[in-house]
Amino acid sequence: MKWNRFTVKTKTEAEDIVISTLAEVGIEGVEIQDKQPLTEEDKAQMFVDIMPEGPADDGIAYLNFYLEEDADKEAILKDVREALDDLKNFMDIGEATIEESQTEDKDWINNWKQYFHQFYVDDILIVPSWEEVKAEDKDKMILHIDPGTAFGTGMHETTQLVILQLKKYVTPDTEMLDVGTGSGILGIVALKLGAKHVLGTDLDPCAVPAVAENKEANQIVDETFDMVIGNIIDDKAIQDQAGYEKYDIVTANILADVLIPLTPVIVNQMKKGAYYITSGILDVKEEVVVEAVKAAGLTVVEVTHQGEWVSVTARRTDPMQRFFVEPYQIEEEAHRIHINGTDVNHIKNVLRMKCGEDVWISDGGDKEYHCQIEELGEDEVLLHILYAQEPEYELPNKIYLFQGLPKADKMELIIQKAVELGAFSIIPVETKRCVVKLDVKKAAKKVVRWQQIAESAAKQSKRMLIPEIHEVMTYKQALEFAKQLDVKLIPYELAKGMKETREILSEIKPGQSVGIFIGPEVDSRKKR
Backbone φ and ψ for 359, nearest 5 degrees, come out as -140, 160
Band (pLDDT 50/70/90 cuts) for residue 515 is very high
Report how far residue 142's alpha carbon sits from residue 287's, in angstroms, rounded to the nearest whole number: 35
Report how far residue 163's alpha carbon sits from residue 122's, in angstroms, rounded to the nearest whole number: 9
Quick: pLDDT tens for 354-386.
Answer: 888 889 999 888 889 999 999 999 999 999 999
In the predicted model, what is the mean pLDDT of residues 258-273?
A: 91
Which pLDDT score is estimated for 374?
A: 94
Which pLDDT score is estimated for 47?
A: 46
Whether 112 shows a pLDDT value over 70: the answer reads no
Question: What value, to the nearest 5°, has the Cα angle with vertex 231 and ends 244 and 179?
Answer: 65
Most confidently modeled range among 224-233, 312-321, 403-412: 224-233
Quick: pLDDT tens for 149-166.
Answer: 445 555 578 888 998 899
Report how far residue 307's alpha carbon sits from residue 312's, in angstroms, rounded to the nearest whole number: 14
**Average confidence score pLDDT of the chain:** 84
CB 170 within 8 A of CB 181: no
Report how far residue 265's alpha carbon sits from residue 274's, in angstroms, rounded to the nearest whole number: 14
Which pLDDT score is estimated for 55?
A: 67
In the predicted model, what is the mean pLDDT of residues 466-486?
A: 94
CB 167 within 8 A of CB 192: no
What is the Cβ-side half-sphere exposure of residue 425, based on CA atoms within 13 angstroms?
16
For the sheet with 225-229, list strands across it: 225-229, 197-202, 175-179, 247-253, 270-282, 309-315, 299-306
Quick: pLDDT tens for 436-463.
Answer: 788 888 888 889 989 989 988 888 787 8
Quick: pLDDT tens for 212-246.
Answer: 988 888 888 989 999 999 999 989 999 999 999 89
Whether 106 shows a pLDDT value over 60: the answer reads no
Report how far residue 255's alpha carbon sits from residue 52's, in angstroms, rounded to the nearest whole number: 10
What do you get for the CA distance between the two ends of the chain, in Å? 95
Q: Give whole-number Cα distances, 273 to 169, 292, 300, 375, in Å.
A: 11, 18, 12, 20
Ranges 5-9, 117-121, 457-461, 463-467: which has the least confidence: 117-121
CB 34 within 8 A of CB 42: no
Q: Three-state SS for 120?
A: strand
334-340 long-range contacts, CB within 8 A, separation 24+ = 335/384, 335/385, 336/374, 336/382, 336/383, 336/384, 336/385, 337/361, 337/369, 337/371, 337/382, 337/383, 337/385, 338/380, 338/381, 338/382, 338/383, 339/380, 339/381, 339/382, 339/383, 340/379, 340/380
Report how far residue 267's alpha carbon sits from residue 405's, in angstroms, rounded to the nearest whole number: 38
Band (pLDDT 50/70/90 cuts) for residue 521 is confident
Whether 330 shows a pLDDT value over 70: the answer reads yes
Band (pLDDT 50/70/90 cuts) for residue 124 is confident
Backbone φ and ψ for 155, nearest 5 degrees, come out as -75, -30
CB 132 within 8 A of CB 150: no
Residue 348 vs residue 119, higher pLDDT: 348
In the predicted model, what is the mean pLDDT of residues 305-319?
A: 87
All residues at 6 or more sequence positions from 10 whose CB lies less than 8 Å from its CB, including other chains:
18, 60, 61, 62, 63, 93, 94, 95, 96
Domains and their CATH numbers in the chain: 2-44+53-105 (3.30.70.120), 117-315 (3.40.50.150), 321-389 (2.40.240.20), 398-518 (3.40.1280.10)
All residues at 6 or more sequence positions from 413 whose CB lies less than 8 Å from its CB, including other chains:
none
Backbone φ and ψ for 409, nearest 5 degrees, come out as -105, 25
Q: Give whole-number Cα distances, 458 to 331, 341, 347, 422, in Å.
A: 23, 18, 17, 9
Report how far residue 67's alpha carbon sits from residue 318's, in angstroms, rounded to the nearest whole number: 62
Band (pLDDT 50/70/90 cuts) for residue 494 is low
What is the Cβ-side half-sphere exposure of residue 354, based on CA atoms within 13 angstroms?
4
What is the Cβ-side half-sphere exposure of residue 395, based on CA atoms within 13 angstroms?
18
Report how far residue 61's alpha carbon sits from residue 63's, in angstroms, rounded to the nearest whole number: 6
Whether 334 shows a pLDDT value over 90: the answer reads yes
Which pLDDT score is estimated for 110?
A: 56
What percentage of the chain carries pLDDT values higher than 90? 43
Whether 528 shows a pLDDT value over 50: the answer reads no
Report how far residue 56's alpha carbon sits from residue 217's, in angstroms, rounded to the nearest whole number: 42
